[in-house]
Structure 1
């Protein structure tokens, strides 16, 4: 049977399903559940504090998590391919260190941006080379480079910090679009998310990433250059870490060795919470975008209620556990009821 006709036949079969079955299938989709939780969260916080739904406050809240959101986008490709990168926070620290050193040397704003991005790309390529071409496990490589990349700024800066940045450099992390209350960081993130959506869902590269996550051996026998795809994924991860370093350094106006410390697990949480399978081969951009704003506004709301940072960390950990377990339970539920998308 022609694949297109087969797909149309399946579509017609779906149309004949009872309404109850369609609703069960729809509301057991992870992305739909995330949207429901997001709406419930908004209602809850708006009832507890009048400041939550204030448009200016909501826009300003984006400044606190947009850099992590940017790094989460390429992490989707890495995890979906069956790899992991726990060195992203250290790449940000290394790129920010390079920004500070370049600024001290009198670099212009465009040169600063290029420096931060280039260092991020080189660090990502370093990881990608050992994972893809040497054949080392991604967890081992990035665990080593996590210490290496963080150790370089620690060795040179110690307890000191770079604080001399051009005034105009602050726009990339603190500025608003025109005379609006929309942060530049938010617009940049949405633009990058659109690009990554096209790469993952509309290009042959995205199809190859899905193939790798399902089975590297099968992908290799299908003609996919597995090494190249994995290498490019890590380079993209480094590129976006460099962009995030520019945004973060611009926002806080300084570089310290502990910059972005602890972000590795938070970024992975955003991706896994968004429905990307930790074992690879499953997920989409939309779910991750929802999880980014869900977790970002959750912390914002908890902050308005003066809930301690320790409780926020515990909450993040619980969400990661739920994000891993609940999709598995939903799959088992659909399998028992013999439901398919």
Structure 2
């Protein structure tokens, strides 16, 4: 029989009793580090690199980063599930080729040709999703194969040729600024819309919670009611659809549709996603960190180009940042354990003091 005494009052429990304080969760995160690096890079570049903060430089920074920003949205969700899609750049190239052929050779309007090309991108994503989610093949093997397949189809359709002659009204729209004399290209509007949609889907919906559960443990996610196969298939279809949009955008900005478009873009997208704090092992990541990671790479590239650095030096710097970002979880773990241990020691000391006071009383 237990006896309740006034010496052991019930203590109210709160979320902070079961987790680290809010400031620790914010500061001791990879996303915070990336955002801090982005701010530092902007401040340093504005003070040290001539013409960096000019409207023309910032315009090209946003315009050149737009394709990576768009593709990074679905790629973030895919990598959080523990999968990967290496075929996005090839899908961009294939949709660019088909868009050019449908408009220039087929005589279709730009709008109709764009819709059909985006639909083709969704089909490419569905092929990846079916093979990964329902057949059960490894995503890295599937998308390496489709990376070669999709670009090969584009090269087979056009060969070394290209398609040009798109209406000036459409190419000018793709390069237009939101406000004249301001450094913000029009492509940022659809990006912001898609970013809000993906943020709501990933971070504020049951579907998004299922994405994180799959990344942590797909078998456990199945037992909690998550349709793992359907979730993965949807994410690959979304990746293909966004790649189709990027294919249209790339074609209109450059004015050329060819099979070599966006060569190597998939590596830049994956590097930006990992740099933004998404775990390559799945189960962890946030879109705001990924967006900061894309912009950080863009700022570094633009600043170093204006400073006269070669592409090889720029790639070395970006590669070092990527390696450090992947290592950051292991680097932060000892700090977190030290903070937790010191907090536990203080808590034990307070408990011992309280017990001593009660015994004396």
Q: What secondary structure sits across from 1:169 in the alignment?
A: helix
Residues 178, 185 of structure 2: 8 Å contact kept: yes
Match of 2:277 among 275, 278, 296: 275
| Equivalent residue, structure 1, for 2:14 | 9
Taking structure 1 as reference, are residues 52 and 143 closer, same or farther at Cα in structure 2, changes over 3 Å only?
A: same
Q: CA RMSD in A?
A: 2.1
Residues 103, 164 of structure 1: 8 Å contact kept: no
Residues 249, 255 of structure 1: 8 Å contact kept: yes
Stretch deviating more after TM superposition (174-183 or 231-240): 174-183
1:249 aligns to 2:251 (yes or no): yes
For residue 307 of structure 1, report the CA deviation from its aligned partner: 1.0
1:175 aligns to 2:176 (yes or no): yes
Residues 89, 262 of structure 2: 8 Å contact kept: yes
d(CA) in 2 for partners of 1:230, 1:13 = 32
| Equivalent residue, structure 2, for 1:145 | 146
| Equivalent residue, structure 1, for 2:136 | 135
1:40 aligns to 2:35 (yes or no): no
d(CA) in 2 for partners of 1:164, 1:55 = 29
Residues 172, 185 of structure 1: 8 Å contact kept: no
| Equivalent residue, structure 1, for 2:124 | 123
Equivalent runs, 1:99-110 vs 2, <5 Å: 99-104=99-104, 105-110=106-111
For residue 12 of structure 1, report the CA deviation from its aligned partner: 6.4
Equivalent runs, 1:77-96 vs 2, <5 Å: 77-96=77-96
d(CA) in 1 for partners of 2:12, 2:324 = 33
**Which structure would you say has the larger Rg?**
2
d(CA) in 1 for partners of 2:65, 2:147 = 21
| Equivalent residue, structure 1, for 2:200 | 198
Taking structure 1 as reference, are residues 321 and 189 closer, same or farther at Cα in structure 2, changes over 3 Å only?
A: same
Q: TM-score, normalised by structure 1?
A: 0.91
| Equivalent residue, structure 2, for 1:232 | 234
Q: Give CA-to-partner distance per residue, 1:179-208, whole Å, 9 cap, x none.
A: 452211122211111111110111111011
Q: What secondary structure sits across from 1:184 in the alignment?
A: coil
| Equivalent residue, structure 2, for 1:111 | 112
Q: Any stretches of 5+ residues in structure 2 without a counterpart?
A: 1-10, 344-361
d(CA) in 2 for partners of 1:172, 1:276 = 33
Q: Any stretches of 5+ residues in structure 1 without a counterpart?
A: 1-5
Stretch deviating more after TM superposition (321-330 or 233-242): 321-330
Report the number of matched residues.
330
Residues 82, 213 of structure 1: 8 Å contact kept: yes
Q: TM-score, normalised by structure 2?
A: 0.86
For residue 23 of structure 1, report the CA deviation from its aligned partner: 5.7
Q: Give CA-to-partner distance per residue, 1:74-102, whole Å, 9 cap, x none.
A: 00110001100111110001110111111
Taking structure 1 as reference, are residues 267 and 8 closer, same or farther at Cα in structure 2, changes over 3 Å only?
A: farther
Match of 1:207 among 183, 206, 209: 209
For residue 178 of structure 1, report the CA deviation from its aligned partner: 4.9
d(CA) in 2 for partners of 1:150, 1:7 = 61
d(CA) in 1 for partners of 2:26, 2:198 = 25
